[in-house]
Chains A and B, each alone.
Chain A
Amino acid sequence: MKKLSLYVVVLIVVSVFSLPSFAANTIKIGIVDTYTGPATTYTQDVLDGFKLAVDKINASNGVLGKKFELVTRDDKFKPDIGRAMAKELVLKENVDILVGTINSASTLAISDLAEKEKIPFFVTYAKSDRIVGEKGHRYVFNMNENTEMAGRAAAVALSKKPFVKYWIAGDDYEYGHAIANSAWNNLKRLNPRVRKVGESWWKVGEADFTPYITQIIAAKPDFIIVATGGSGMVNFQKAAKATGLSQKIPFYQHTANELGTLLPQGLNAPEGVYGTSAYFFYIAYPANRAFVAEFMKAYNRYPKGSAYSGYMTARFIAEGFKKAKKIDREALINALEDMSLDSPVGRVQIRKCDHQLLLPIYFGKTRKDPKYNFLISSENQIISSKDYISSCNEVLKARKK
């Protein structure tokens, strides 16, 4: 009897200790993102893009003989849930890497955890510049354009236009103010003649923009910087069309010319709206054609910018491990610093000083195209990272504050 119980104890101990070694046969990636609510339209593409790259890597025997394994959690767009989910992934699921989220507050909460637990964290679609700026650290990587980059890129393009009287409007939360501030402050710096005639701010999720738009029309500005996100993008464009604003006063929205904004409106979207985006599926590079073909084969729809972000994140993680030649978190981080890869839309690089991905941003104008039953971005002007990125000194100064 005694022997038997000892046997049981040994068995339990062995099985418990063998668990991590079993887990270590794969590289486990924990993805925390918002899979409920309106943000899902973007996060589903992040996940599918990520999966597309992972499936390809796993099909060719993984990285250093190990395959990638994905676990996902829904943060319901709430920072506290996001952090709790990330903690659970780290402590219980023993993930090697964290990926996520679309919500900047949630991302900052997880980033704080990642720093404490020393787990590399790749940000796929949150846009706050504080993630790798003021709140940045060794373990966090931002894999898409942030508000500072987007606003600055827009300012570079707008500073060459003849508009003088600007109106600023947007969603009254961090993303809206961050985009608007970045665009406006940089525009003022690049073109001192511009002046602001007024501002309007509405609550997040505002459905009816008509009263805001009629008020702006009455104020007669030359140009409007509209800092909306999520469903506000479409809501504003629909109201701009219905009120005739889009024919009267030109305006700019970050991602106004992106598929996520234009696809749902079909041919009814307003033409001539200025926008900035990091990706379009119709950019005619051979690598992009191949990526779009693969994505469409797997999911039967066009990839959005967020799919591109998910796809490149997975590829950077895989190539980082390959370059490090071992499955080690610290080695992965060292390997990724200053690493560059060919993406579907050109070469992109992770900057060493702040772990921000440097990628081209496209400034364009919405227009109908006979090939598609929705509007596309036209007259695209490529703004390269050297024109819009804040210097390493600026970023590191913000971190010290």
Chain B
Amino acid sequence: MDILYAVIPPAILSQIFVGLSRSVILFIVSSGLSLILGTLRIPNVAHGSLYMIGAFAAYTVSGFFADSSTGFWAALILAPLFVALVSFISERALFRHLYEREHLMLLLLTFALSLIFSDLVKLTWGAEYKSVPVPAMFQGYVPLFGEMPFPTYNLFLLCVGPVVALLLWLLINRTKIGKIARAAAVDREMVGAVGINVSWVFAGVFVIGCFLAGLGGALVAPTISVTLGMDHSLIIEAFLIVIIGGLGNIWGALLGALIFGLTQSMGILIWPKFGIIFPYLAVVIVLIFRPRGLLKSAW
């Protein structure tokens, strides 16, 4: 360890890991956005609202259990499922009829949905700030590098990230729906022509993408105050990540999330007064050199 510290001081190492754990949430949410964008061609502005609903649902579910750990695990499963249900209903009731329309139309619809969702959240959960406790098993911090404290929960996030990425890889490359979805992303009409029910494939992809938004919300809930408006800042970041990664490319979303999380945490370490600008600066640099994103865009 001492040799490592000589090369990279503990403060920087700790900051890198904090940035990585931030990237996990960003990756999970923006991969869902990217999946929907790539396959269904929907720029889903309401994705942020679904993330918010996931966090609120996690609050409700965890409230049913006296033990914070049981409540947390239950919320981690049930909250994204609830979001998936909401998205399934909106897909079957609304989006299904609009796939042939132009993007602007879909953009307007998702924007309208985001407003409706945020009012529904207010009606259901009220305007008070909500807080989901960190589960007892992940409370506190560990001295990971030298004296620098590292929150145990962020350590848990660092484990969740690769698991989700692996599952997504399996879904896309090893399952039928994944293969059809990839094909549909390239040529929708051809997929329909070979006798596949594109409508249900789309419904499935949409629900999976939204499930990821809900999972992101449930995962972030213990670290922040669950509140109206938490969707706004996230949806902008998620879109930026998707754009620098390459529209519709999930591995692009992973790369984008890593860039975003790491430039943010390193920016804060280098120049805390203006740490805010570093991730956006990175976005600008990427777009100057690779206007269509780092990896191949599905569009």
The interface size bin for chain B is 35 or more
Residues in A whose Cβ lies below 8 Å from that of B223: 207-208, 210, 238-239, 242
- B192 adjacent to chain A (CB < 8 Å): no
Which of B89-97, B127-135, B203-211 sits within the interface? B127-135
What residue in chain B is nearest A169 (Cβ atoms)? B272
Q: A37 contacts which of B224, B228, B264 (Cβ < 8 Å)?
A: B228
Q: B148 contacts which of A172, A207, A214 (Cβ < 8 Å)?
A: A214
Residues in A whose Cβ lies below 8 Å from that of B286: none
- A346 adjacent to chain B (CB < 8 Å): no
The interface size bin for chain A is 35 or more
Question: B276–A41 contact, CB under 8 A?
Answer: no
Report the minimal beta-carbon distance from B216 to chain A, rounded to whole angstroms.
11
Task: Give the residues from 23 to 76 in chain B that come closer than 8 angstroms, CB to CB, to chain A.
Answer: 25
- B297 adjacent to chain A (CB < 8 Å): no
Number of A-B contacts (CB under 8 A): 150
Task: Give the residues from 231 to 280 in chain A that come closer than 8 angstroms, CB to CB, to chain B.
Answer: 231, 233-235, 238-239, 242-245, 248, 260, 263-266, 268
Question: B220–A212 contact, CB under 8 A?
Answer: no
When chains A and B are docked, how far (Å) is the Cα of A203 from the Cα of B267? 13
When chains A and B are docked, how far (Å) is the Cα of A234 from the Cα of B150? 19
Residues in B whose Cβ lies below 8 Å from that of A244: 140-141, 149
When chains A and B are docked, how far (Å) is the Cα of A239 from the Cα of B268? 16
What residue in chain B is nearest A242 (Cβ atoms)? B151
**A36-B228, A218-B148, A260-B129 given as contacts; is B273 within 8 A of A199 (CB)?**
yes
Question: A207–B268 contact, CB under 8 A?
Answer: no
Task: Give the residues from 239 to 290 in chain B that come closer than 8 angstroms, CB to CB, to chain A.
Answer: 264-265, 268-269, 272-276
Question: A205–B233 contact, CB under 8 A?
Answer: yes
What residue in chain B is nearest A234 (Cβ atoms)? B225
- B18 adjacent to chain A (CB < 8 Å): yes
When chains A and B are docked, how far (Å) is the Cα of A44 from the Cα of B127? 8
What residue in chain B is nearest A207 (Cβ atoms)? B224
When chains A and B are docked, how far (Å) is the Cα of A44 from the Cα of B154? 34
- B227 adjacent to chain A (CB < 8 Å): yes
What residue in chain B is nearest A198 (Cβ atoms)? B272
Task: Give the residues from 127 to 181 in chain B that come closer than 8 angstroms, CB to CB, to chain A.
Answer: 127-131, 133-134, 139-141, 148-154
When chains A and B are docked, how far (Å) is the Cα of A53 from the Cα of B255? 56
- A201 adjacent to chain B (CB < 8 Å): yes
Report the minimal beta-carbon distance from B60 to chain A, rounded to whole angstroms.
14
Report the minimal beta-carbon distance from B227 to chain A, rounded to whole angstroms.
4
Residues in A whose Cβ lies below 8 Å from that of B228: 36-38, 40
- A330 adjacent to chain B (CB < 8 Å): no
Q: B127 contacts which of A40, A202, A207, A235 (Cβ < 8 Å)?
A: A40
Question: B129–A41 contact, CB under 8 A?
Answer: yes
Q: A207 contacts which of B11, B152, B153, B234 (Cβ < 8 Å)?
A: B234
**A36-B119, A235-B224, A268-B134 given as contacts; is B272 within 8 A of A200 (CB)?**
yes
Task: Give the residues from 40 to 93 in chain A that come closer than 8 angstroms, CB to CB, to chain B.
Answer: 40-41, 44
- A8 adjacent to chain B (CB < 8 Å): no
Question: A208–B233 contact, CB under 8 A?
Answer: no
When chains A and B are docked, how far (Å) is the Cα of A234 from the Cα of B272? 21
What residue in chain B is nearest A44 (Cβ atoms)? B127
- B87 adjacent to chain A (CB < 8 Å): no
Question: B22–A208 contact, CB under 8 A?
Answer: yes
Which 8 A-B residue pairings sit nearest by Cβ, starting from the closest? A40-B127, A200-B272, A234-B225, A211-B265, A218-B11, A242-B151, A264-B129, A205-B233
Q: A200-B268, A214-B11, A242-B139 are in contact. List 6 more A-B contacts (CB 8 A).
A: A40-B228, A202-B275, A211-B18, A215-B275, A231-B129, A243-B149
A-B contacts, 11 of them at CB < 8 A, read A36-B228, A40-B127, A199-B272, A211-B15, A215-B269, A215-B275, A218-B15, A234-B224, A242-B223, A243-B141, A263-B128
